[in-house]
Amino acid sequence: MSPSRQRDGAAAEALAAAYLERQGLAILARNYRCRGGEIDLVAREGATLVFVEVRLRRSTRFGGAGASVDARKRARILTAARHYLGARAQPACRCDVLALDALDPARIEWIRDAFGA
């Protein structure tokens, strides 16, 4: 991945984290990785644990940011979520997607409960 794409990805994740915090969620972890998967943000909304995938797309040519979370990506997120939950009590959980078609806070689409286990 090119340095500019890495910078854009980090900027999108920071923007998403700030957005979620303004919405009342607490960010618990960023870039949680395990063998077989990764979660961009782990947050808490009340008693619910939220696994968040942040997607940035500069073009809607291939369906935009939200459409880019395909079955393979969902499986990798769920693998990491199961690993994260491994030694913890099992709270209510959901998987959300924050789709950004630009690095603009006014253009964030929050897809709650985007997919489940």
Nearest to 53 by CA among 92, 101, 111: 111
Domain boundaries, the chain: 3-115
φ/ψ of 18, rounded to 5, equals -65, -40
Which tokens in the block code for residue 5?
Answer: 């794409």
How many degrees, rounded to 5, is the angle at CA 62 between CA 104 and CA 33? 65
Most confident of 1-5, 9-13, 59-63, 68-72: 9-13
pLDDT digits (tens, 9 = 90+) for 99-116: 887 788 888 989 999 987
Kindly report the average pLDDT of the chain as a whole number: 85
The Cβ of residue 4 has, within 10 Å, a number of other Cβ atoms equal to 8
CA distances from 59 to 16, 99, 107 (A): 18, 12, 13
pLDDT digits (tens, 9 = 90+) for 49-100: 999 999 887 655 555 555 667 788 888 888 999 998 886 677 899 999 998 8
pLDDT digits (tens, 9 = 90+) for 30-40: 999 999 899 99
pTM of the model: 0.85
The Cβ of residue 29 has, within 10 Å, a number of other Cβ atoms equal to 13
Judge contact between 111 and 94, C-beta under 8 A. no
CATH topology of domain 3-115: Trna Endonuclease; Chain: A, domain 1 (3.40.1350)
Nearest to 104 by CA among 31, 20, 11: 11
